[in-house]
């Protein structure tokens, strides 16, 4: 007789439930009840043939799952490799703006890092306005630094969805009060060449944030004015 564990391995959930009910109702062992249930499901073929057919189907399904997971891992690996190549070989920038209060005095902060480790930091007070204007001015400052450095390919990170989404909006569909800033950003991007703006959480933008806040430090302002 075929082992109970082997039968369980190929039985469907519904068949296992049916066999347990049969075992209770007919006062027979669960093994005998499962044999009876699967022989009925075999519909004329031998129980061994049914088991072999189901095992083959299970193996095909397992192979398909493994192949799908392998493709997923490969795609993730390629994406990570592309990201790493950009990080290692391309120019990267970060921007952030502060308004104290909001609206109020504006500070812009930015960092630009080249493929050889060359670094430009920006921490400048920028008049008055609201936080969105501060973010835009910070982005513009980073792009201007990139243009001066002769950059032709860069990824620029920021935690302002307002600014990043506004730059990506179709012309005329953005925020009207920020349109002149958006136009300046697009002109700089066209001048540089390949620039990709990417949103990141604030926790990953701490250096640019610190530079933007530092630009509004009263003690620093007093020293610079002296």
Alpha helices in the chain (DSSP H): 4-10, 13-26, 30-42, 47-89, 131-148, 161-168, 179-192, 206-214, 218-225
Structural domain of 25: 4-84
When divided into structural domains, the chain yields a total of: 2
CA distance 216 to 213: 5
pLDDT at 212: 97
Let me know whether 151 and 185 are in one domain: yes
pLDDT at 220: 55
Let me know whether 10 and 33 are in one domain: yes
Let me know whether 77 and 139 are in one domain: no
Beta-carbon count within 10 A of 77 CB: 10
Q: Which of 52, 84, 116 is the last residue of a domain?
A: 84
Let me know whether 105 and 157 are in one domain: yes
Q: Are 17 and 25 in contact (CB under 8 A)?
A: no
pLDDT at 44: 86
- Give the tens place of pLDDT for each residue, 9-56: 999 999 999 999 999 999 999 999 999 999 999 988 999 999 999 999
- Give the tens place of pLDDT for each residue, 90-108: 899 999 999 999 999 999 9
Let me know whether 94 and 191 are in one domain: yes
Let me know whether 116 and 200 are in one domain: yes
Task: Return the CATH number at 150.
Answer: 3.30.420.10
Q: Which of 31, 51, 84 is the last residue of a domain?
A: 84
Let me know whether 71 and 118 are in one domain: no
Q: Which of 68, 84, 100 is the last residue of a domain?
A: 84
Let me know whether 56 and 109 are in one domain: no
Let me know whether 35 and 128 are in one domain: no
User: Low-confidence residues of the chain, pLDDT below 50?
Assistant: 221-226
CA distance 162 to 165: 5
Please state whether 88 falls in left (phi above 0), alpha (psi between -120 and 50) or beta.
alpha
Let me know whether 130 and 198 are in one domain: yes
pLDDT at 171: 80
Q: Which residues contact 164 (CB under 8 A, 6 or more apart)?
A: 158, 197, 198, 199
């Amino acid at each position: 007789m075929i082992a109970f564990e082997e039968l369980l391995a190929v039985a469907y959930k519904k068949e296992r439930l049916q066999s347990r009910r049969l075992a209770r109702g007919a006062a027979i062992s669960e093994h005998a009840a499962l044999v009876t249930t699967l022989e009925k499901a075999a519909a004329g073929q031998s129980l061994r043939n049914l088991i072999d057919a189901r095992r083959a189907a299970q193996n095909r399904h397992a192979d398909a799952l493994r192949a799908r997971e392998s493709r997923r891992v490969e795609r993730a690996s390629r994406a990570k490799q592309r990201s790493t190549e950009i990080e290692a070989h391309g120019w990267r920038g970060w921007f952030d703006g502060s308004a104290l209060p909001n609206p109020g005095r504006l500070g812009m902060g930015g960092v630009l890092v080249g493929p050889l480790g060359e670094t430009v930091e920006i921490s400048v007070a920028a008049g008055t306005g609201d936080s969105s204007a501060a973010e835009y001015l910070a982005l513009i400052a980073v792009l201007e630094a990139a243009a001066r450095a002769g950059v032709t390919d860069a990824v620029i990170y920021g935690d302002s969805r307002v600014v990043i989404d506004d730059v990506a909006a179709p012309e005329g569909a953005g925020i009207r009060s920020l349109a002149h800033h958006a136009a300046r950003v697009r002109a700089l991007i066209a001048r540089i060449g390949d620039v990709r703006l990417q949103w990141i959480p604030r926790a990953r933008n701490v250096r640019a944030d610190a530079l933007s806040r530092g630009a509004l430090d009263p003690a620093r302002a007093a020293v610079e004015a002296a």
